[in-house]
Structures are given as C-alpha cells and as structure tokens.
C-alpha cells in the first residue's frame, strides 16, 4: 500500500474533536447520520435486545472519541472500559465523562436511539447511566502484544471495535494482525462486534487526508474466521451520505463469538 499523501492515524494522529464535529454532529448540513450514527446503533441494539449477550465487562476499542455505539450496549454489563490509541482521544472522552462545558454533545445520539427503540423517555438517563458504567478510559499501544502493557486487563465478555481497524491497518496483513491483538482482549466464548467501512480509501479531517484501508465483506469475514471466530450476523449498509470528505461504499457490521477452549 502506498499511502502517498494519506496520513496514518496511529503515526500522525488527527484532531479528535474535528472528527466529531465533521462526522458525528447533528448540525444542519451534516450528512453522515444514517451511516455513522443510526446504522451502528440500530444493529448493536438488535443484537443486545435478544438478551443472550451479557456479562461483567465490555471493552470498547474504537476510532477517535466515538461513544454513540455504546448507548445500546452498556446496560448489559457491570462495567465498561474504553481503550484509545491517542492521548487526544482520551482527553476528549474525559471531557465528556466529566460533563465539561467544552465537551462534545452526544444528546442527539441518545434521541436517535430512543427513536430506534421506541423508548423516548430515557434520553438523559441513558447518558448518565453510560457515564456511570465507564470505569476506565485508557491509552493503549498498538505496538504491544498486550495493548494495555504493562497493565493486564481481565478478559472481557464482549469487545466492540468501531472504525479503528480501518485507519490503523496499512494493508490486509496488518488488519489481520491488529484484529488478533484486539481479539486477545476477549474471553473464550466471548462476543466481538466489529464496525467498519467497506471499500474505503481516505477520510478528511480538516485539511488532512487520513488513510483508510480498502477491503470488502469477504476480507472481514475471512479475518475473523481465520482467528477461530464464528460469525453470528453480518450486514453491509450501503452508503447514504453524499460528501467528498470521505470515500467509502458502505458500512459493515459483524457480530461474532470466540470459540471456547476445549
């Protein structure tokens, strides 16, 4: 892969707040709601509402400072840990967690989820309860086999990764290697939920063009099955957004479980 003028997220970083303002906002003229917000929350809700995925711990290791995909998930676990690859993302999440006045406002995502679930009375409560469920926000190191080295986290019942693999993997080999590291956070028999972009090549963050790995559904499926996962659900949502800021064909969601050791 020749990134050309494309910057690599884990090498060069990006402005975490600018990503939120560009791709996660509900301001008039913002076009990514269906793809970036509604589809991920709808699919995660549809999996958890079935009631067979619960446990002590959920680890989220996702792109930037995204937390919207956790609104449908946090209530099924005793505690949530957020892992991020940059200090900037950790700082942005802590501003939200501590209800700082300059924090990004995620209220619109709670409203969107209320529309998805038909439960319109818990917008504010969901935000408060998600914050209460989050016990750790930690920086992790992609170069380490143990991503949280030197600390060793208890293995999780569920891991969610949204968008991160796409921007830290320079090629398909790196994608598989990074996925393996993330899967090592998970208990045998635990569940993994993966969100990513299909056939993407770049995303703009301000004036910076960030590399995004190009892959399709078959590549994502193979990477998981090669690691011993059983895929329980896979769906690709065709792109709705019209914008030159990011190039992708659709958003993929995969729910899978890790085979138990015999």
List beta partners, residue 203.
210, 246
Share of the chain above pLDDT 90, in %: 78
pLDDT in tens, 143-162: 899 999 999 999 999 999 99
Distance between CA atoms of 56 and 192, rounded to whole angstroms? 15
What's the rounded mean pLDDT across residues 76-101? 95
What is the CATH code of the structural domain delimited by 9-258? Answer: 3.40.50.150
CB 254 within 8 A of CB 194: yes
Which pLDDT does position 29 carry in this prediction? Answer: 63
Which pLDDT does position 83 carry in this prediction? Answer: 98
Which pLDDT does position 12 carry in this prediction? Answer: 66
Reply yes or no on whether the pLDDT at 90 is more than 60: yes
What's the rounded mean pLDDT across residues 182-198? 97
Which pLDDT does position 18 carry in this prediction? Answer: 92
Which pLDDT does position 123 carry in this prediction? Answer: 62
List the domain boundaries for the chain.
Answer: 9-258
What's the rounded mean pLDDT across residues 111-134? 83
Q: In the numeric block, which tokens belong to residue 229?
A: 């996962």
- Establish how many alpha carbons lie within 13 A of residue 167's alpha carbon, considering only the half-sphere containing its beta carbon: 31
What's the rounded mean pLDDT across residues 94-108? 93
pLDDT in tens, 205-242: 988 999 999 999 999 999 999 999 999 999 999 999 99
**pLDDT higher for 135 or 260?**
135
- Predicted model pTM: 0.94
Q: Which residue has the tokens 């910076």?
A: 208
Give residue 3's pLDDT band: very low, low, confident or very high (50, 70, 90).
very low
Which pLDDT does position 138 carry in this prediction? Answer: 96
Reply yes or no on whether the pLDDT at 137 is more than 90: yes
3-state DSSP assignment of residue 186: strand
What's the rounded mean pLDDT across residues 163-184? 96
Distance between CA atoms of 182 and 179, rounded to whole angstroms? 5
pLDDT in tens, 15-43: 889 999 999 988 766 689 999 999 999 99
- Residue 150 has φ and ψ, to the nearest 5°, of -90, -5
Which pLDDT does position 111 carry in this prediction? Answer: 86
Q: Is 258 exposed, middle or buried (0-12, 13-18, 19+ CB in 10 A)?
A: buried
Give residue 188's pLDDT band: very low, low, confident or very high (50, 70, 90).
very high
């Amino acid at each position: 892969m020749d990134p050309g003028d494309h910057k690599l997220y884990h090498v060069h970083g990006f402005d975490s707040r600018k990503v939120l303002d560009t791709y996660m906002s509900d301001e008039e003229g913002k076009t990514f709601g269906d793809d970036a917000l509604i589809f991920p929350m709808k699919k995660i809700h549809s999996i958890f509402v079935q009631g067979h995925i619960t446990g002590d711990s959920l680890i989220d290791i996702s792109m930037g400072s995204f937390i919207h995909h956790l609104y449908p998930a946090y209530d099924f676990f005793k505690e949530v840990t957020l892992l991020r690859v940059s200090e900037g993302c950790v700082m942005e999440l802590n501003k939200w967690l501590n209800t700082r006045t300059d924090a990004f406002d995620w209220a619109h995502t709670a409203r969107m989820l209320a529309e998805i679930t038909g439960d319109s009375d818990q917008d504010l409560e969901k935000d408060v309860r998600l914050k209460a469920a989050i016990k750790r926000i930690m920086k992790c190191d992609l170069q380490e086999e143990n991503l949280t080295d030197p600390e060793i986290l208890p293995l999780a019942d569920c891991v969610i990764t949204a968008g991160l693999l796409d921007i830290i993997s320079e090629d398909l080999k790196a994608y598989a290697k990074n996925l393996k590291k993330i899967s090592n956070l998970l208990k045998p028999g635990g569940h993994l939920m993966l969100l990513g972009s299909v056939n993407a090549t770049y995303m703009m963050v301000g004036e910076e063009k960030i590399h995004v790995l190009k892959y399709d559904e078959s590549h994502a499926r193979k990477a998981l099955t090669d690691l011993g996962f059983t895929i329980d659900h896979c769906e690709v949502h065709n792109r709705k957004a019209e914008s030159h800021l990011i190039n992708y064909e659709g958003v993929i969601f995969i729910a899978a479980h890790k085979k138990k050791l015999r």
